[in-house]
């Protein structure tokens, strides 16, 4: 079945603003269909991610899923350990019992090998965070035409990590993105705590400096509960530079979601189950994953230009135009 994404809709809840940073909770308007778990849930059950072999490949890792569950690996999710830390290039749905190659990018340019990294094991550990919108967006821009291409986004990711380190005045011996997170952890905790998850929430939207920045959502509130803090950690790292500024209004959030709803979607093969989605619309770009007509995951960013892409067969995303109903 060709995914149409017509069975997923999103609605905006009440914005929460803390010291000039606004987060808007997102909720599903219909019950999810697909069943899956997150990396955080699957890892204790034996799900592992490793280098492709002893030599390794910067742009590719191997996911091994011995569990009875389909596992959603999230776009931008950070993996620590092995030869160097990586992030997932795209969202990947790994079938139960499957072994699968997944595309990744390095976010620790100064390390290649197990030595010199105390406590590092051949298998990766889930870092329980996604990288910041800056890093993820840099990656997305270079993967729009070839989402599964290995290595094409690597320089852009390294540059984004370098900018993040400069902005936060952090020197990392191995140029690791994680060192910035550890440096800012105490400041970030205040904001992560300020935007606690709401019952039934399946996503969130970020705004600061008077503008919407980005959004993330999944189909399942149960899965989202294991992603909320991971996504917020990435969001807050970028937002720290805008503390004390102007947040966004509910109207701005609604306008952004409408622009996402009106965007067109280019459909391509995914790295695992389902279909990769690339969104392009009026001042929005984004990515996602669909399965059997259901939108499992979506990420979208505000841009400064119109990017309607008519070069490939497209379908509307059909994220519902947000309602004015306040959700508990």
Residue 54: what pLDDT?
A: 87
3-state secondary structure of 223: helix
Residue 6: what pLDDT?
A: 33
State how far the Cα of 124 lies from the Cα of 284, in Å rounded to an integer. 33
State how far the Cα of 223 lies from the Cα of 230, in Å rounded to an integer. 12
Residue 52 lies in a domain: yes
Residue 322: what pLDDT?
A: 45
Confidence (pTM): 0.90
* pLDDT mean by block of 10 residues, the chain; 328 residues: 45 96 96 96 97 93 98 97 96 98 97 67 88 96 92 96 97 96 96 97 97 97 98 97 96 94 93 96 94 94 70 44 36
- Number of compact structural domains in the chain: 1
Residue 3 lies in a domain: no
Residue 4 lies in a domain: no
Whole-angstrom CA distances from 136 to 231, 235, 286, 297 are 11, 11, 11, 15
Other Cβ atoms closer than 10 A to 136: 27
Residue 319: what pLDDT?
A: 53
Residue 328 lies in a domain: no
Residue 9: what pLDDT?
A: 75
Whole-angstrom CA distances from 101 to 64, 82, 93, 228, 270 are 9, 16, 12, 26, 11
Contact 137, 215 (CB under 8 A): no
Give the domain range for residue 275: 10-316
Burial of 251 (0-12, 13-18, 19+ CB in 10 A): exposed
Other Cβ atoms closer than 10 A to 103: 22
For residue 215, the cross-strand partners are: 205, 300
State how far the Cα of 258 lies from the Cα of 246, in Å rounded to an integer. 22
CA dihedral 90, 322, 265, 311 (to 10 degrees): -130
End-to-end CA distance of the chain: 35
Residue 114: what pLDDT?
A: 75
């Amino acid at each position: 079945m060709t995914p149409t994404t017509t069975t997923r809709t999103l609605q905006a809840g009440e914005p929460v603003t803390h010291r000039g940073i606004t987060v808007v909770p997102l909720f599903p308007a219909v019950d999810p269909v697909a069943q899956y778990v997150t990396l955080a849930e699957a890892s204790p059950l034996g799900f592992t991610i490793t280098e492709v072999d002893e030599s390794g490949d910067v742009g590719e890792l191997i996911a091994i899923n011995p569990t009875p569950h389909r596992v959603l690996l999230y776009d931008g999710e950070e993996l620590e350990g092995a030869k160097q830390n990586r992030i997932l290039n795209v969202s990947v749905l790994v079938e139960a019992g499957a072994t699968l190659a997944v595309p990744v990018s390095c976010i620790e340019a100064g390390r290649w090998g197990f030595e010199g990294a105390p406590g590092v094991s051949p298998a990766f550990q889930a870092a329980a965070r996604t990288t910041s919108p800056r890093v993820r967006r840099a990656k997305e821009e270079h993967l729009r035409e070839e989402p599964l291409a290995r290595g094409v986004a690597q320089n852009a990711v390294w540059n984004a990590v370098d900018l993040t380190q400069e902005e936060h005045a952090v020197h990392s011996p191995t140029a690791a993105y994680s060192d910035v997170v550890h440096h800012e952890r105490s400041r970030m905790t205040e904001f992560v705590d300020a935007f606690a998850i709401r019952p039934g929430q399946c996503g969130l939207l970020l705004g600061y400096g008077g503008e919407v920045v980005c959004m993330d959502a999944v189909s399942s509130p149960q899965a989202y509960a294991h992603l909320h803090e991971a996504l917020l950690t990435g969001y807050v790292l970028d937002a720290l530079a805008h503390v004390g500024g102007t947040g966004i209004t509910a109207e701005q959030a609604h306008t952004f979601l409408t622009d996402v709803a009106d965007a067109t979607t280019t459909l391509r093969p995914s790295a695992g189950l389902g279909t990769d989605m690339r969104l392009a619309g009026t001042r929005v770009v984004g990515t996602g994953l669909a399965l059997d007509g259901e939108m499992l995951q979506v990420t979208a960013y505000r841009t400064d230009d119109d990017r309607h892409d008519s070069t490939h067969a497209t379908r509307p995303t059909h994220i519902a135009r947000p309602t004015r109903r306040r959700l508990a």
